[in-house]
């Protein structure tokens, strides 16, 4: 839920972009925070989806009917998001510490 969208990945890590995107919440676009999976297999931050369901009982992605009782923790996504962010930072640092990147046109 934090209002913090990280800068783009450095060019050398562009191939990780789709992994990065999958680990983000479709509601707040930040990395998933206490991930909950719906019966329709979509994932959101716990707070984001609960707030949404208090307004409308359907999945924000595919419109399938969803209730709060249907939600299930998807803890592996929390671990993946945490570990991916750490790796991303290390790789970016390695990328920037070594030869400077010439600006792209």
Tokens 């924000």, residue located: 60
Q: Say if residues 38 and 66 touch (Cβ distance below 8 Å).
A: yes
The one among 2, 3, 11, 69 contacting a second copy by CB under 8 A: 11
Structure tokens at 5: 């969208």
Using the 8-state DSSP alphabet, how is residue 31 labeled? B
69: contact with a second copy by CB under 8 A: no
| Segment interacting with Zn ion (CB under 5 A) among 3-11, 59-67, 68-76, 97-105 | 59-67
Distances (CA, A) of 51 to 17, 54, 98: 28, 5, 44
16: contact with a second copy by CB under 8 A: yes
Q: Which residues bind a second copy (CB under 8 A)?
A: 11-13, 15-16, 18-19, 22-23, 37, 39, 41, 43, 72-77, 79-80, 83-84, 86-87, 90-91, 94-95, 98-104
């Amino acid at each position: 839920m934090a209002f913090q969208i990280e800068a783009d990945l450095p060019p050398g890590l562009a191939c990780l972009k789709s992994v990065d995107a999958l680990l983000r919440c479709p509601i707040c676009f930040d990395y998933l925070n206490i991930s909950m999976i719906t019966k329709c297999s979509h994932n959101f931050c716990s707070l984001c989806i609960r707030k949404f369901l208090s307004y409308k009982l359907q999945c924000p992605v595919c419109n399938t009917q969803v209730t709060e009782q249907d939600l299930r923790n998807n803890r592996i996504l929390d671990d993946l998001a945490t570990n991916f962010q750490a790796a991303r930072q290390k790789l970016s640092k390695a990328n920037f510490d070594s030869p400077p990147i010439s600006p792209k046109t």
